[in-house]
Amino acid sequence: MKFDQASPPNPIDQERVVTRPHTRLEGPLKVSGQATYAYEYDVTGTPIYGSVVGAGVAHGRITRIDTAAAEAAPGVLLVLTHETMPAQGGSDTPVPQQQEASPQLAGPDVRHYHQAVAFVVAESFEQARAAAALIEVEYDVTPGQFTLADTLDAGEEPEDAADSVVGDFERAFRDAAVSVDLTFTTPDQSQAPMEPHATVAHWDGDQLTVHTAHQVVHWVRRGLALTLGVPQKDVRVVSAFVGGGFGTKLLFFSDAVLSAAAARILGRPVKTALPRPLMFNHTSHRAATIQHVRLGADTDGTLHAVGHDTWTGNLPGGDTEPACEQTKYLYAGEHRLIRTRKTELDLPPGASMRAPGEAVGMLALEGAMDELAEALGLDPVELRVLNDIQFDPEQGPKRPFSSRRLAQALRTGARAFGWADRPRAPRERRDGEWFVGYGVASAFRTNLVKPSGAAVRLEPGGTLTVETQMTDIGTGSYTILGQVAAEMLGLTLEQVRVRLGDSEFPPASGSGGSWGANSASAGVYAACDELRRVLARQAGYVPANAVFRNGKVWQGAECTELRDLAGADGVSATGRMTYGDLTERYVQAGFGAHFVEVGVNVHTAEVRVRRALSVVAAGRILNPVTARSQCLGGMTMGIGSALMEELHVDHDLGLFVNHDLGEYHVPVHADIPDLEVIFLDELDDQSSPLRAKGLGELGISGVGAAVANAVYNASGVRVRDFPITLDKILAGWDARA
């Protein structure tokens, strides 16, 4: 099935199951410890355990590696180095790029700190770890570049982020009645999922099965096949439950590749989990940015000049952090200059982290909008509404938004939050030892869709089984896909069984980029649509006239029980949703507004978020329970990004020194107040047959800016170097004094 025109009315519009609040189908399994994660699978044969040795330098060459003591240690079965590792598929970059080959045992050249340089396999985890510590590695260290600010002059225009130039920005900015010219910096950040990267690999003859923690099954399947040099058909990947990913599990790392290689050599299953300290430097992270935002407007607030420059760094061949993306679409302004420059750094690989681009780009753009509103003497909400636009600012009315409810989100949020009663000036409101401030920011996230398929089977007895490679990384995929299938076949959710995350099932979008629920649901829709036709014909009905309701298929007043049509053998169908050019003809994005109240301690400058509200317009909300959960997670991460998350770079040694959850600070329950989410009614018929849009990353996009703007409103100090820590606020107070 191809989605290439606006969605007509369809069975989803009944909304008997879809859009209704349902708790997660897999929830009882998770809270009772019965959900099986990658490292926990029981496989045929006694498993053995792998331990990865990470490079102790960031840039250089291995001159000697002595494994004798490790090989002689108790329980050790195998030690792999670059000298003994079986041949791996080649790659011109050390950054694993989704479906590409990705060699995972470095040597003799080392490209970043904690790149895998050795792998020990032993009878027990403790034996493997102890033996790994006995390996001696000597390096010839060569100078590396670890500081983004020192590389700006070497920045180049990347292939994946071409310059956007409309009109004459420099002239318009120079002539603007009111303007702001600001620089923001955001640090390196870690996805830090709860479940580590982990794999159990075993072979049955030439057939490899890999239980691994990954977000997109067909990507890791192809990448592993290319890396190991085996046919893709001989690789099975299982990722039925994934304990968080936030982008880092879009890629695969040494746990998967080295476990598979060692399992083949030893003829036994190999289990490997990356220890927490290794994850921060060995796997991917969100790269730091330096962003220069210039806005120019008339005295009434009408934007005419919109400029946003971003510098970001990565290993050669790595992607950029697309922090300018939202600036292309969010506000009007006929003169525009939006540019990204990428430099080469010898830090661990930079890659996707929740809302890549918008999460940090909105910190800069929405901070600049707040400062422009202050310079104009305008309400920050009104400035944003004034510059709302219903078409692509770069291409004009010929490319409208498929749906855009930014202004309504801002107005709705302002009323619900009590924005009219906000403090008008910094330090205007005090509550005991706390200055109180309000902040607002828009929310924006590009809507992406991916081809996705599913298989459905009406079982004897009338229940339905859904199978698809789609993964569940804590987002509620099991429940949402079950709801869509139940709606299509006229069943209850309890009559549907959903099976996910197995490469033996039809390929699906996977979880990432906020494309998962919408795209995978469309694949299930396509499969169910085909099954409806098969069943209608089997009942002797015209498929276009058939109505599925209450476990029956109806044509007029006549009906047939689905369990009767299933018979003793059941009835199966498959389907796949692909897409035409609607994303090119229309700008597709989710919109919203974030409102935050903070307290800043008058003595210590400690910041406490007191309450927060997100108003969200993201098409049809398939399940308000799981959708709200996604928004709450995004809001929490946005608060963390604003106030505490930062990987500290050792600029001499080239590593992130706070590589554990003790020192890489993320919000805990005590940091987060009650959060509120309001969903606006919206259907986007250009997005999919579900008329839904991406949601998971919209919740983080803009939250940090609302926090920063509230901190200013409370304290009178603008902090543009994130995260906002009390020392920076105190420094601002000292400067004012």
Q: What is the pLDDT of residues 633-666, one digit of tens each?
A: 999 999 999 999 999 999 999 999 999 999 999 9
| Residue 714 pLDDT exceeds 80 | yes
pLDDT reported for residue 94: 65
pLDDT reported for residue 211: 98
Q: What is the 3-state secondary structure (H, E, C) of 332-367?
A: CCCEEEEEEEEEECCCCCECCCCCCCHHHHHHHHHH
pLDDT reported for residue 90: 86
3-state secondary structure of 536: helix
Residues 85-123 have pLDDT tens digits of: 999 998 766 666 567 899 999 889 999 999 999 999 999
Query: Average pLDDT of 599-611?
Result: 98
Query: Average pLDDT of 396-406?
Result: 98
Residues 190-222 have pLDDT tens digits of: 999 999 999 999 999 999 999 999 999 999 999
| Residue 144 pLDDT exceeds 80 | yes
| Residue 223 pLDDT exceeds 90 | yes
Complete DSSP assignment for 144-204 = ----GGGGGGG-B--TTS--EEES-HHHHHHH-SEEEEEEEEE--B----SSPPEEEEEEE
The candidate with the shortest Cα–Cα distance to 343, out of 146, 511, 519, 63, is 146
| Residue 737 pLDDT exceeds 70 | no
Contact criterion met (CB below 8 Å) for 187 and 651: no
Whole-number Å distance between alpha carbons of 314 and 225: 26
In single-letter form, the type of residue at position 619 comes to G
Write down the pTM of the prediction: 0.97
Backbone phi and psi for residue 390, each to the nearest 5 degrees, phi listed first: -100, 10
Residues 224-254 have pLDDT tens digits of: 999 999 999 999 999 999 999 999 999 999 9
On average, the pLDDT of the chain sits at 97
Q: Two tokens at 21?
A: 């609040």
Contact criterion met (CB below 8 Å) for 266 and 121: yes
Query: Average pLDDT of 386-402?
Result: 97
pLDDT reported for residue 312: 98
- The CATH number that domain 10-31+450-578 falls under is 3.30.365.10
Q: Please identify which residue in the block is written with the tokens 């039809």.
A: 506
Contact criterion met (CB below 8 Å) for 418 and 530: no
Query: Average pLDDT of 461-467?
Result: 98
Banded pLDDT at 389 (limits 50, 70, 90): very high
Helices 703-715 and 726-736 pack at an angle, to 10 degrees, of 40
pLDDT reported for residue 160: 79
Residues 498-541 have pLDDT tens digits of: 999 999 999 999 999 999 999 999 999 999 999 999 999 999 99
Domain 379-448+585-736 has CATH 3.90.320.10: no
Share of the chain above pLDDT 90, in %: 96
pLDDT reported for residue 99: 74
Location of each CATH 3.30.365.10 domain in the chain? 10-31+450-578, 41-143+194-244+248-282, 379-448+585-736
Q: Please identify which residue in the block is written with the tokens 């939050």.
A: 417
Q: What is the 3-state secondary structure (H, E, C) of 54-112?
A: ECCCCCEEEEEEECHHHHCCCCEEEEECCCCCCCCCCCCCCCCCCCCCCCCCCCCEECC
pLDDT reported for residue 419: 98
| Residue 131 pLDDT exceeds 80 | yes
| Residue 736 pLDDT exceeds 80 | no
Backbone phi and psi for residue 273, each to the nearest 5 degrees, phi listed first: -125, 130
Please, is 294 exposed, middle or buried when counting C-beta atoms within 10 Å of its C-beta (0-12, 13-18, 19+)? Answer: buried
| Residue 492 pLDDT exceeds 90 | yes
- The CATH number that domain 41-143+194-244+248-282 falls under is 3.30.365.10
| Residue 576 pLDDT exceeds 80 | yes
Catalytic residues: 697
The candidate with the shortest Cα–Cα distance to 622, out of 490, 519, 732, 546, is 519
pLDDT reported for residue 159: 84
Whole-number Å distance between alpha carbons of 192 and 248: 9
pLDDT reported for residue 25: 96
pLDDT reported for residue 283: 97
CA distances from 179 to 263, 338, 382 (A): 62, 17, 17
| Residue 41 pLDDT exceeds 90 | yes
